[in-house]
Chain A
Amino acid sequence: EDKVVQSPLSLVVHEGDTVTLNCSYEVTNFRSLLWYKQEKKAPTFLFMLTSSGIEKKSGRLSSILDKKELSSILNITATQTGDSAIYLCAVALLPAQGGSEKLVFGKGMKLTVNP
């Protein structure tokens, strides 16, 4: 069974701290790994990683995929209260013959940044 595991499931930090979110996976036919941020409503896309060792960065957020270790990390530096959200990790699987790409989500990680 395809599985995506995020850790920790929740974290409380103070503004200015640096946090690292972990995502590990056991899947067949890996295609890509995606990170989403979910505040009060819709998940919004952060990063997509398809090649091992390549870092994606956007401002204070960065992510790396380690295909050897079957994992990814999402780093947030100099956290702000606006970073408080649920962070979702998902793995896209290559489709079976005639089928569609399948996306498997982790349970999500709730980050709370206190002022």
Chain B
Amino acid sequence: NAGVTQTPKFQVLKTGQSMTLQCAQDMNHEYMSWYRQDPGMGLRLIHYSVGAGITDQGEVPNGYNVSRSTTEDFPLRLLSAAPSQTSVYFCASRPFKGVLHSPLHFGNGTRLTVT
């Protein structure tokens, strides 16, 4: 049981480059989300999805795009990387439909540095 799998684990980008952070879960969770974690800021929600074909913005969505074509996958795209996007990114999922209280399951994170 792999849970939530994120790739890559580390990435260095130059300002203006684009890339996609991958996230896949094998628990059939409807809800998937992306957070960024910065020192002194805690975890902040970037985008989330409650099912295939449905996405919505979180607290800090600017500079990021997402799509949800399948239940399993929820990639995060940086179209033009900026140094302010240097952070650790976490993907997380949980059951949604018919479940009132369920904690998030997190992936192991992607450490992104933008120079």
Complex Cα spacing A50 to B35, Å: 23
Which residues of B have CB within 8 Å of A32?
101
Complex Cα spacing A100 to B45, Å: 13
Total A-B Cβ pairs within 8 A: 45
Q: A32-B101, A43-B106, A48-B103 are in contact. Are A103 and B90 (CB under 8 A)?
A: no
Q: Is the CB of B50 within 8 A of A103?
A: no
Q: Name the interface size band of chain A.
A: 20 to 34
**CB of B17, distance to nearest CB on chain A (Å):** 25
Q: A44-B106, A48-B101 are in contact. Are A105 and B42 (CB under 8 A)?
A: yes
Listed A/B pairs (17) with beta-carbon separation below 8 Å:
A32-B101, A36-B103, A41-B109, A42-B4, A42-B107, A42-B109, A43-B104, A43-B106, A44-B106, A45-B104, A48-B101, A92-B101, A99-B56, A100-B50, A103-B45, A106-B42, A107-B42
Within 8 Å of chain A (Cβ to Cβ): is B43? Answer: yes
Within 8 Å of chain A (Cβ to Cβ): is B41? Answer: yes
**CB of B56, distance to nearest CB on chain A (Å):** 7
Q: Closest chain A residue to B103 by CB distance? A: A45
**CB of A39, distance to nearest CB on chain B (Å):** 11
